[in-house]
Structure 1
Amino acid sequence: MQYARLLGAARRGQVLTAAVVASSVVVMALGHRLSTATFDTLAWTAVLVLVTQALVDDRPRLWLVAGVVAGVGLNNKHAVVFLLFGVLVALALDPIHRPVLRTRWPWLAGLVAAVMWVPNLVWQAQHGWPVLDLSADIADEYGGVGGRVQLVVQAVLIFSPLMFLVWARGLGALLRDARWRAVRLPAYVFVVVLVVFLVTGGKAYYLAGAIVPLLAAGCTWVAERWPSHADELGFVLALSAVVAWPALVPVLPAATYAGSFYPSIDDDQPETIGWPTYAAQVRDVVRDLPDAAVVFTGNYGEGGAFEWYGVGAPVYSGHNGWRDWGPPPDGAAPVVVVGFDPDDADFTGCEQRTTLHNRYGLDNEEEGLPVWVCDGPAGSWSSVWARLVHYDA
């Protein structure tokens, strides 16, 4: 709403902005899942609003506030670097605000953010820069022509197709409308970061925080153009998102969701189904094993779920940050292996005990996975750990 105020939106335009953004698919999904992207979206939007406010009201000290917000955001997700780059390039491109680069305030803001980021960078250096390994895996998965087309298509859809029409109109108005020349910085930033993510192979939801101001601009334009119908238009826009909520948010019973077309829309929501059943199946396997048994999983989702629901044995995984809780003690054996083919990993004496199945017939990463019981690693845990750890998305 604050950016809508900067655009000169009256109460109707501000309320429309708040309702449309809050009901959008990506905001609902990220708010429910509480991932790093949740706070990343907030950080991007807040920085863009603060910087625009600093420029419009000539309040240079707001740059320092923006720097603090960016510093917090950098410690949550490194993608804020692209936002800061976008702001720098946008200022250089905008003849109205270009002179601010000759003042100390944007640079002090960047310095504040960088200083706050130092502990994170030190940790990265001490651990071999895992962010670069993970970024390379993401770029490999989402690179190429197909990945770039997917980024554009998903950017169109992540708020809702109808909301895309609104924020696209907002983008156009910001770039062309003389009234909004002083507040068009977020439009430039969006264009810059979109190009960067197309080149580097990013994901569409990285853009969510940069799209929010464009959506505010579009809602302001709608409220000005059709003031007597703004409420009805807001309802239609919200409804266009609500019909997609079940694809990303658990608003349907699991059985209803599993029998619908929604699982084919999103890869992540199906991964929230079936964990109590999967954990019970692993627990049944562990029950017959010695007390020194451990569970080793192929990804952190499996590791987290089995630890949360309890499977009767300590849970380890080499995936991403879960590696920091390993390796198991060298004497830990036997090992229940889930999410790995023991023939391709460093385990010996493996026997399949069961197969994971959820009770909804829903196809996700765990459905149909074999559960193995192995004598132990091929050597000590400490000696094979380097081959069991992996960074990937």
Structure 2
Amino acid sequence: MFSGRYGPHRDELYFVTAGQHLAWGYVDQPAFTPLVARVVSTLFGDALVAWRFPSALAAGAVVLLTGLIARRLGGDRSAQLLAGSAMAVSAFLLIVGHMLSTATFDLLFWTLISFLVVRQLQGADPRGWLLVGLVTGIALHNKTLIAALIAALLLGLLAVGPRSVLRSGWLWAGAGIAALVWLPNLAWQASNGWPQLSLARAIADGSSGSSQPWWLFLPMQLVLISPVLVAMWVPGLVRMWRAVELRPVRCFAVAYVVLAVVFLVTGGKPYYLAGLFPVLLAAGAPLVVDWLRRRSDARAWVSGGLGLSLLFNAVLMLPVLPVRVLADTPVVDVNYDAGETVGWPAFADTVAGVFAGVSRAEQTRTVVVTENYGQAGAIDRYGPERGLSKAYSGHNAYFDWGPPPDTSGPFVVIGFDEDFLRTVFADVSAAATIDNGVGVDNDEQGTPVWITRDPRGPWAAIWPSFRRLG
């Protein structure tokens, strides 16, 4: 219903371009999401609804799996429905289910692996560990963060058991399958100097637009799903630790605590823990259902809580409001990603206007250089219809796709500090300022656009100074 409103997110623009440069890995991610972007953009062109359809399917699968986990954890039909409904109205699922993102598929893989592991720990055919390994190997081609889940679960098994699982040859055979499936990306990382380690350090230092101060990490756990649903997942966490019938899966409670500490200490983003919320909601749902059956007024409280969560989260996380009033609301302050879907056509219009001011004799050699991958992706998406050639950027994987040719120039440069540009070019002049036209204070609003000439050396020499990770 809302997929086509506003516009593409900066990450979506980047993924589509990355999909045109398929590789076993990139400095900031493995290949899964760019591959999905390549498929949908090849089949459906620039249709934004089509770009986001795989994410909607993934979100639906997360809801279904949450209900299935609730069944494995002793929930009846009512508990399964409640767990799935709670996940469906959660803030994090609504936002990642609305856009093409590594986080979308990461949430799906965390939930699927959690379901499979719960099933194995409850006594399923031990050969099922082979499937766990296969899914883990595929998940590692989307985001290496999944390795943290596996490590935390293993630590949980060592700490609270059942340790007998660790003696299963099938488990270690599954681990071998995961490593084998992951090997192409692992080899790419090794041959390129392990760039994702450098990226992780950059994110920990706050270089990502979605990074948060460390002291917000724990409070954000209360709002990632919904403040109302804290009353379900916190009891679920306690139940996983204390309930005798859940003793085989107690390692999930340990994993949550371990990962919370690790991500807090290492500067991880608050949403890194979101992949465990389906399990915690599934564990808490039977407790809420029991409460419903003991109190005559409880149904109204639960229905109201879910409805309030849906209303609150939908307004904040989905493009429900008209874009013209967005700047007058707290939406962008709460939901950074909403702002990053606004203003890209106007952005491209401004750049095209600067390009049009260059003499006709120079236009054939003029190229666009951007400070970040969102800007570059927008030029690659909207530029051709405005007479612009492809963009160059030193941000993340764009850096690896190369600098402008030495025969190019002048340069329409977007962003950067003037002092930096004067160390790179002999001639720098301000040309325009980005304005999205609706007053939304996003990363691009107020960004300067420059015309530069005469690089102070060949691009091979100056290109490293443009590199940025985050």
Same fold (TM over 0.5): yes
Residues 214-249 of structure 1 deviation map (CA, whole Å, 9 limit, x = unaligned): 011112211122147457614522422431333332
Give the Cα separation in 2 of the matches to 1:102 and 1:54: 14
**Residue 296 of structure 1: aligned partner:** 369
RMSD in angstroms over aligned alpha carbons?
1.9
Distance change in 2, residues 1:208/1:135 (3 Å): same
- The equivalent position to 1:242 in structure 2, one of 293, 300, 311, is 311
Q: CA deviation at 1:141?
A: 2.2
- The equivalent position to 1:167 in structure 2, one of 233, 244, 257, is 233
The SS at the match of 2:213 is helix
- The equivalent position to 2:202 in structure 1, one of 137, 140, 143, is 137
Give the Cα separation in 2 of the matches to 1:357 and 1:194: 39
Give yes or no for contact 2:89–2:309 (8 Å, CA) kept in 1. no
Give yes or no for contact 1:12–1:230 (8 Å, CA) kept in 2. no
**Residue 390 of structure 1: aligned partner:** 468
TM-score calculated relative to the size of structure 1: 0.94
Give the Cα separation in 2 of the matches to 1:238 and 1:63: 38
Q: 1:302-313 maps to which residues of 2 (within 5 A)?
A: 302-310=375-383, 311=386, 312-313=388-389
The SS at the match of 2:150 is helix
**Residue 123 of structure 2: aligned partner:** 57
Q: CA deviation at 1:82?
A: 0.6
**Residue 272 of structure 1: aligned partner:** 341
Residues 318-355 of structure 1 deviation map (CA, whole Å, 9 limit, x = unaligned): 10011232212121111100011242132231111111
Give the Cα separation in 2 of the matches to 1:129 and 1:376: 34
- The equivalent position to 1:14 in structure 2, one of 80, 87, 90, is 80
Instruction: Give % identity.
Output: 40
Q: Which amino acid aligns with 2:459?
A: W
The SS at the match of 1:65 is helix
| Paired residue total | 389
Give yes or no for contact 1:298–1:339 (8 Å, CA) kept in 2. yes
Q: Which amino acid aligns with 1:330?
A: D
The SS at the match of 2:340 is helix
**Residue 104 of structure 1: aligned partner:** 169
TM-score calculated relative to the size of structure 2: 0.79
Q: Which amino acid aligns with 1:383?
A: A
Q: CA deviation at 1:104?
A: 1.4
The SS at the match of 2:336 is coil
The runs of at least 4 consecutive aligned structure 1 residues that moved more than 6 Å come to none
Gaps of 5+ in 1: none
Q: CA deviation at 1:131?
A: 0.4
**Residue 253 of structure 2: aligned partner:** 187
**Residue 263 of structure 1: aligned partner:** 332
**Residue 352 of structure 1: aligned partner:** 430
Distance change in 2, residues 1:326/1:376 (3 Å): farther
Q: CA deviation at 1:14?
A: 0.8
Distance change in 2, residues 1:296/1:152 (3 Å): same
More off after superposition, 255-264 vs 203-212: 255-264
The SS at the match of 2:449 is strand
The SS at the match of 1:349 is strand
Give the Cα separation in 2 of the matches to 1:238 and 1:376: 60
Give the Cα separation in 2 of the matches to 1:35 and 1:333: 34
Give yes or no for contact 1:71–1:114 (8 Å, CA) kept in 2. yes
Q: 1:20-35 maps to which residues of 2 (within 5 A)?
A: 20-35=86-101
Residues 90-141 of structure 1 deviation map (CA, whole Å, 9 limit, x = unaligned): 111224x111111212222222111111111211122222101110011222
Give the Cα separation in 2 of the matches to 1:112 and 1:73: 12
Give yes or no for contact 1:91–1:98 (8 Å, CA) kept in 2. yes
**Residue 92 of structure 1: aligned partner:** 158
Q: Which amino acid aligns with 2:191?
A: Q
**Residue 453 of structure 2: aligned partner:** 375
**Residue 392 of structure 2: aligned partner:** 316
Q: 1:43-82 maps to which residues of 2 (within 5 A)?
A: 43-82=109-148
Gaps of 5+ in 2: 1-66
**Residue 233 of structure 1: aligned partner:** 302
Residues 180-199 of structure 1 deviation map (CA, whole Å, 9 limit, x = unaligned): 22333322221221122122
Give the Cα separation in 2 of the matches to 1:332 and 1:161: 54
